[in-house]
Structure 1
Amino acid sequence: MELSTASKRVVVFDYGFGNVRSAERALARAGAAVEITRDFDKAMNADGLLVPGVGAFASCMHGLKEARGDWIVDRRLAGGRPVMGICVGMQILFARGIEHGVETQGLDEWPGSVEPLQADIVPHMGWNTVEPPAGSELFAGLDADARFYFVHSYAVHDWSMEVANPAMREPLVTWSTHGKPFVAAVENGALWATQFHPEKSGDAGAQLLNNWIGTL
């Protein structure tokens, strides 16, 4: 499947947690000029910043802070510069993560807690469908039965975010279900994120990344 989009500079933020090579290949396939780096200036000035993440919430937060990634994400978003999180890179955007009874503060871009999946089989590993809301740009052009690849044991089950300014657009929240429904993706201005791995999701994931790059 060949996709084309105007070449944009995307940095895959390399803070030690995430399959950066898979992300690099998928973004390049979608038409971006990609660099894997933790260089502060390059991460700040790229058209788009992708924050991957695998493993434990607390470890990812520690690694992100060590690389000044928390400051980079905050400053980019303050300037309306696009950021996308994947898997634990999405989870750390929430207020807190709770693993094995231990609470770790997240980036607090969105309220909510990342908690253990409420399902008979954990981890949730494999292909699943999602339910995007009307008007989603992230899932534009994708069939309703498109499937994406998930690997996770934790998720956000409850979404509650009030937008104080009525002129601002409400975040668009996409859901999936494994046991209990959980947040599978969020589109919120310059900040987008997915719980699943688009870089491992075949043509559907490639189209989704193409959609993101097209907004940069």
Structure 2
Amino acid sequence: MNKIKVMIADDHAMVRQGLKTILELEEDICVVAQASNGGEAVDLAKSLKPDIILMDINMPVLNGLQAIKMLKEGNDRFKIIVLTLHQDREYLFKTLQMGCEGYVLKDAESSVLIEAIRSVFHDQTFIQPNMTSELVKEFNRVTLYEHDRSLTNNLTTREIEVLKLIAEGMINKEIAKNLYISEKTVKNHISNIFKKLDVNDRTQAAIYAFKHNIKA
């Protein structure tokens, strides 16, 4: 039987040894290398070409994200399962965007990790079941942000200038004086801003500006 060759990248020796012991109880899995930092992980992966890389995020020299980026940009098609303490959905979403095939938390049952290794080896993506809802939440957040950013992109340079001054709390007369334009022109810009951002008043426009870091 051809065994699944696994490399473990984690800066804690006890974690690496514990994982090795657990994984090698399985007849179809063998641990071919252990890396204590991201730089070592990149070098070992390129020389040994494991089937699966278990990658921690917080490591010295190169962190996991940096190592993933380097490995995924190369010619070899490395399959990477992120094995981490991070339950933040931002990390989950980011690593999947980077091309990782799996995401498992360190407090998961060993059976979950073993299932992840086998699934990824057979060209499937594996996300720890209780993390899938977090992925959906992050996808919705990013989608909403992209939508909001596209609204901002619809504003002209002058409208963005007016929006910044609205956020500063200026009234129309002050905005007109600051930008050397008439109050009527200011009113027209504000009307356009409200329509493009789908807001109803100056307060909502100011909140939008603060949320999207649009400041004078």
**TM-score, structure 2 as length reference:** 0.39
- Indicate the structure with greater helix content: 2
Q: Which has the higher contact order (CA 8 A, sep 6+)?
A: 1
**TM-score, structure 1 as length reference:** 0.39
- Indicate the structure with greater strand content: 1
